Amino acid sequence: MNSTKATGASLTGFGAHDHTRCRAASLAAAEALCAARKLQLTPVRKRVLEILLEAHEALGAYDVLARLAEEGLGSKPPVAYRALGFWVAQGLVHRIEKLNAYVACAHPGRAHDAAFMICRDCGRVAETESHGPFGQSAGEAGFQIETMVIEAEGLCPKCIPGAGL
């Protein structure tokens, strides 16, 4: 992936929505969460979350790092990976395995397993909450699930040929 090309990812579905509001809500959730868990909301961490919220799409770690570097907040891979890992651990950022990329969570504040729809044409990513029956069959097999990855790749409404594009 060329790091000058971002991987697009509208959240909460492929429709339009109010970025300003969801960004503020996520930041507020992050602050509340850090206070509650006695975690440090450091400049690098805060800025990484903001970058993902502003981009409003899935970004690779090196994309995030490039933006940090522009602002003098760190230029070496571990800086970005550490901050991303912090948010992933807190559940406010999700990693998209198929894209090796990261997105701010669209449902901050609620514990959930996320599921993603990834458009192979425009690259945008939509998050939904997951309610799969998978846990049931895994439970029958005696497997104790800790985390789930659910990602669908295909065509989003705008990119289906003949759609109202």
Q: What angle do CA 127, 129, 13 make, to 5 degrees?
A: 35
* CA 66 to chain CA mean position, Å: 17
Sequence-distant (≥ 6) Cβ neighbours of residue 63 within 8 angstroms: 3, 6, 55, 101
**Which positions from 63 to 92 touch DNA by CB under 7 A, shown as an x/- string?**
----------xxxxxxx-xxx-x-------
Sequence-distant (≥ 6) Cβ neighbours of residue 75 within 8 angstroms: 65, 68, 69
Which tokens belong to 149? 């990855």
Q: What angle do CA 154, 7, 131 make, to 5 degrees?
A: 50
Residue among 6, 33, 39, 66 that touches DNA (CB under 7 A): 39
By C-beta, is 28 or 152 nearer to a copy of itself? Answer: 152
By C-beta, is 78 or 132 nearer to DNA? Answer: 78
Contacts with DNA: how many residues (CB under 7 A)?
A: 25
Q: Which one of a copy of itself, DNA, none is in contact with 134 (Cβ closer than 5 to 8 A by kind)?
A: a copy of itself
Is residue 8 close enough to count as binding a copy of itself by CB under 8 A?
no
| Nearest approach, Cβ of residue 117 and DNA (Å) | 19
* Chain positions contacting DNA, by CB under 7 A: 1-3, 39-40, 42-45, 60-62, 73-79, 81-83, 85, 100-101
